[in-house]
Amino acid sequence: MTVPTRAPDRLSSPISAGVGESAVRPDGTLKVTGEFAYSSDLWMDGMLWGATLRSPHAYARIVHLDTTRALAATGVFAVLTHEDVPGRNAYGLEHKDQPVLASDVVRYQGEPVAIVAADHPQTARRAVALIDVEYDLLDPVVDPSTALDEATPRLHPDGNLVRHVRIRKGNDAVQADVVVTADYEVGMQDQAFLGPESGLAVPAEDGSVDLFVATQWLHVDRGQIAPALGLDEDQVRITLSGVGGAFGAREDLSMQVHACMLALRTRRPVKVVYSREESFFGHVHRHPARMHYEHGADRDGRLVYVKAEIILDGGAYASSTPAVVANAATLGSGPYAVDNVTIDSYGVYTNNPPCGAMRGFGAVQAAFGYESQMDRLAEAVGIDPVEIRVRNGLAEGGTTAAGQVIDSAAPVAELVRWVHDLPMPPPSSGDLRSMPGGVSNSTHGEGVVRGVGYGVGIKNICFSEGFDDYSTARVRLELVAGEPVASVHTSAVEVGQGLVTLLAQIARTELGVQQVTIEPADTSVGSAGSTSASRQTYVTGGAVQAVCQQVRKRLLERRPGYVGSPGDMPLRELLVDGPVEETVEWRHRPTTPLDPETGQGSPHVQLAFAAHRAVVDVDTELGLVKVVALDCAQDVGRAMNPQAVVGQIHGGSAQGLGLAVMEEIQVVDGLLRNPSFTDYLIPTILDMPPMQVEVLELADPHAPYGLRGVGEPPTISSTPAIVAAIRAATGLELTRIPVRPEHLTGT
């Protein structure tokens, strides 16, 4: 096959550094200078452009579908509908409930109905508008609270329940002296990655297909694409292309099957790039949540019980809702020691946009509930927010809501104390950029009140509930121009987090080699699992460590009796006889499913914790918020690359800030009101304060290098900390996020 231009290249960094050092990213300069090849840059001579017709309705029956006019348009090469899906017209991460192209019914606004290939992207888009579809409108199911009622129409054959997880830990009839109860709501957040869904499918002579695409898990994509195309898995070859952010939104398929269908039909390469607006319809979002929480404690504020009902709106298709429901349940009492936990967590189908994976994955929603409750409890018993968290914080040896014994560090009290003890920010300087409203010049200090709040979060690292979670790594060590070079080949996806940097660091440390090349990720090597659940450093990092050790062993077999350290191995001498190549499939320790009645078990591989202290200035008359400080303490087990660790904490905290005060996809009657970056606002540099970050390294003896997943915990705790600070400034209850000016001004 001819390889497209702007396809991914090998990466190597001129500056070598091993584990524990802040190695420079091999793709960093390319990205900063605009040279990095993202999937939207892929190009092949003679390629066609794909475009997608999407449902404008949240719920409707397709009465009539006619592609005649579109097919007749000049420059159009193919117009395909559900009738053209070569294999099974269904895919999905956990349930195959989502059609590649809708056949009789559309269940959400934006659901793909037909696809077009044309010689120009604009021609393709305009041909989409020439497809005639007649819909019979149905009443959409948009309220997740009533989705399970008998009277509500069933959107799928088995009804509207995707999953219900029950947690029954201890005694659910126990009484407490102090009880606080409230309802909370979380709006629909978007991952808002910058690189829209895009890829290029190239048909082969033998009917197979090569797909270049930005995604999160090549092999699970392939496992869904091949059956839809009616091909064997080995007839679909996927190469990862430059990913412009993911945050969970690329776990589900978007344009993959469509581009392949068009390429196989037209026998031409087909490229698909979503527009920004289309992107909002083309990927899943964070589940909105409605939560009822009841916390019981003794008069000292020690938790006696936690009860909760959590309803997560999964939207039209299941996506990863089942796992999100389990996270919200098993992490639903937070990073606190409590003997009695009763939680019912539900994921439901509605005709709202499908919701699935996003950084924090069920733990974010629950954290807003339980952290708000901890503040209420502190107030009810008359202690401060730090003390309530210190008194109840989990520690090693404690048990989670699922009854899992924590067998490595769980320094909740320490993390809270760390952020509490950091220096407070100075009073406002009067510079407009430091004011609520910023350069919009809405206050010079009038109405501004400062508040301080705390938040702590808990997150499972790696895949849970007995999932066979593994990664495959291949390493080849050889002499190139007389110098030893290691090439590392995995299918693990770099989404911007720095995995490519880290894998090279591990190879250098384990093999004592200076030059390391990272091969493009593709399906010619075994699965690496998903770039999700803060797991790649742990699992693919573990796989690369293991395969390097295997390579070392092979190498040393060439010189029996060698007893030096890996760094001192005489590589040149040992490699004269030829290269060494090894492949290893590496697994973390197993987990168990949840007991279906009690939700008890050992579902999680590892738990990670972060704490935030937020300081906000609120313009109480205008309801505008400036987050003045957002400081974080997090245990990362081992800072494999300290700069990358702090970068993850900065980024995760900013994403949590967005959810606290601005980020929401507004959905009314199943229809999106703000599918653009004009109206879906994410924080700018003037919204995000400089951070003080404390990184703790309390090694986890069960994990490679003692490391603990880093990416998600800071997203979880920053949101409740900020909302707590706004409450402290305003005295308002604020039970819904994001907090809007209307909530703060009663308008």
Partner 1 sequence: MQMVRPTTWPAALDAIAAEPGLLPISGGTDVMVDVNFDRERPTGLLDLTRVPELADWSRDGDLLRVGANVTYARIIDELAALLPGLAMASRTVGSPQIRNRGTVGGNLGSASPAGDAHPPLLAGLAEVEVESVRGSRRIPIDEFFVGVKRSDLAPDELIAAFHAPVAPGPQQFAKIGTRNAMVIAVASFAIELDGAAHRVGTGIGSAAATPRRAADAETFLAGEITERAAWDSPTPLPDAVVQRFGELVAAAASPIDDVRGTAAYRRRALSVLARRTLGWCWADLDGRQCA
Q: Which of 21, 119, 277, 585 binds partner 1 (CB under 8 A)?
A: 277
Phi, psi of 192 (to 5 degrees): 50, 45
Per CB under 8 A, 429 contacts partner 1: no
Per CB under 8 A, 621 contacts partner 1: yes
Percentage helix, strand, coil, to 5, in the chain? 25, 25, 45
Per CB under 8 A, 741 contacts partner 1: yes
Per CB under 8 A, 747 contacts partner 1: yes
Cβ 112 to partner 1, closest distance in Å? 18
Which tokens go with 134?
A: 């007649």
Residue position matching structure tokens 């088995």: 158
- Whole-angstrom Cα distance, residue 722 to residue 198? 35
Which tokens go with 373?
A: 């409750």
The residue (of 164 and 740) whose beta carbon lies closer to partner 1 is: 740
Of 22-30, 349-357, 481-489, 615-623, the window that binds partner 1 (rule: CB under 8 A) is 615-623
- Whole-angstrom Cα distance, residue 534 to residue 540? 11
Q: Which of 71, 105, 204, 681 binds partner 1 (CB under 8 A)?
A: 681
122 to 141: interface string for partner 1, x by CB under 8 A:
x--xx---------------
The residue (of 198 and 392) whose beta carbon lies closer to partner 1 is: 198
The residue (of 20 and 741) whose beta carbon lies closer to partner 1 is: 741
Q: Which of 22, 152, 275, 583 binds partner 1 (CB under 8 A)?
A: 275
Per CB under 8 A, 679 contacts partner 1: yes
The residue (of 500 and 662) whose beta carbon lies closer to partner 1 is: 662
Of 262-270, 281-289, 618-626, 697-705, the window that binds partner 1 (rule: CB under 8 A) is 618-626
Mention every residue, 6+ apart, whose C-beta is less than 8 A from residue 274. 196, 197, 198, 254, 255, 282
Which tokens go with 563?
A: 């007893």
Q: How far is CA 81 from CA 78, 101, 280, 454, 740, in A?
A: 10, 6, 22, 52, 42
Per CB under 8 A, 450 contacts partner 1: no
Cβ 438 to partner 1, closest distance in Å? 3
Per CB under 8 A, 674 contacts partner 1: yes
Q: Which of 486, 624, 691, 723 binds partner 1 (CB under 8 A)?
A: 624
Per CB under 8 A, 666 contacts partner 1: yes
The residue (of 681 and 699) whose beta carbon lies closer to partner 1 is: 681
The residue (of 548 and 622) whose beta carbon lies closer to partner 1 is: 622
Per CB under 8 A, 61 contacts partner 1: no
Per CB under 8 A, 436 contacts partner 1: yes
Per CB under 8 A, 75 contacts partner 1: no
Residues 485-504 interacting with partner 1 (rule: CB under 8 A): none
Cβ 620 to partner 1, closest distance in Å? 10
328 — alpha (psi -120 to 50), left (phi > 0) or beta?
Answer: alpha
Per CB under 8 A, 194 contacts partner 1: no
Cβ 196 to partner 1, closest distance in Å? 13
Cβ 658 to partner 1, closest distance in Å? 9
Residues 721-740 interacting with partner 1 (rule: CB under 8 A): 740
From 452, 511, 520, 458, select the one nearest 486 (Cα to Cα).
511
Cβ 307 to partner 1, closest distance in Å? 34
Per CB under 8 A, 431 contacts partner 1: no
Per CB under 8 A, 441 contacts partner 1: yes
- CB-count exposure of residue 552 (10 Å: 0-12, 13-18, 19+): buried
- Whole-angstrom Cα distance, residue 737 to residue 372? 11
Of 19-27, 134-142, 495-503, 683-691, the window that binds partner 1 (rule: CB under 8 A) is 683-691
H helices of 361-484, where? Answer: 363-381, 385-392, 412-421
From 119, 122, 118, 97, select the one nearest 108 (Cα to Cα).
97
Contact 316, 107 (CB under 8 A): yes
Q: DSSP string covering 209-241, please?
A: EEEEE--S-HHHHHHHHHHHHT--GGGEEEEE-
Q: CA-based Rg of the chain, rounded to a whole angstrom?
A: 26
Phi, psi of 36 (to 5 degrees): -65, 135
Contact 646, 493 (CB under 8 A): no
Of 163-171, 217-225, 262-270, 623-631, the window that binds partner 1 (rule: CB under 8 A) is 623-631
- CB-count exposure of residue 158 (10 Å: 0-12, 13-18, 19+): exposed
Per CB under 8 A, 74 contacts partner 1: no
Residues 198-237 interacting with partner 1 (rule: CB under 8 A): none
Q: Which of 2, 673, 690, 731 binds partner 1 (CB under 8 A)?
A: 673
- Whole-angstrom Cα distance, residue 670 to residue 235? 38
- Whole-angstrom Cα distance, residue 689 to residue 669? 36
For strand 132-137 and strand 112-118, is the pairing parallel, antiparallel, or unpaired? unpaired
Cβ 685 to partner 1, closest distance in Å? 8
Which tokens go with 687?
A: 């919204």
Residues 685-724 interacting with partner 1 (rule: CB under 8 A): 685-687
Q: Which of 20, 223, 398, 447 binds partner 1 (CB under 8 A)?
A: 447
User: What is the size of the binding site for partner 1 (CB under 8 A)?
Assistant: 40
Count of Cβ atoms closer than 10 Å to residue 124 Cβ:
29
From 94, 89, 161, 656, select the one nearest 356 (Cα to Cα).
94
Per CB under 8 A, 439 contacts partner 1: yes
Of 157-165, 198-206, 229-237, 441-449, the window that binds partner 1 (rule: CB under 8 A) is 441-449
Per CB under 8 A, 587 contacts partner 1: no
- Helix, coil or strand: residue 137: strand
**Residue-level length of the chain:** 747
Mention every residue, 6+ apart, whose C-beta is less than 8 A from residue 149. none
Of 92-100, 119-127, 235-243, 717-725, the window that binds partner 1 (rule: CB under 8 A) is 119-127
Cβ 621 to partner 1, closest distance in Å? 5
Per CB under 8 A, 104 contacts partner 1: no
Of 112-120, 502-510, 621-629, 648-656, the window that binds partner 1 (rule: CB under 8 A) is 621-629
- Whole-angstrom Cα distance, residue 705 to residue 500? 17
Of 224-232, 285-293, 605-613, 679-687, the window that binds partner 1 (rule: CB under 8 A) is 679-687
The residue (of 371 and 619) whose beta carbon lies closer to partner 1 is: 619
Count of Cβ atoms closer than 10 Å to residue 479 Cβ:
16
Which tokens go with 117?
A: 């290939």
Cis before residue 4, ω within 30 degrees of 0?
Answer: no
Per CB under 8 A, 442 contacts partner 1: yes
The residue (of 32 and 63) whose beta carbon lies closer to partner 1 is: 32
Angle 318-323-329 from CA coordinates, rounded to 5°: 120
Of 97-105, 416-424, 440-448, 512-520, the window that binds partner 1 (rule: CB under 8 A) is 440-448
Distance of CA 427 to the CA centre of its chain: 36
The residues of the shown chain that bind partner 1, judged by CB under 8 A, are 122, 125-126, 275, 277, 433, 436-444, 446-447, 621-624, 626, 661-662, 666, 673-674, 678-679, 681, 683-687, 740-742, 745, 747
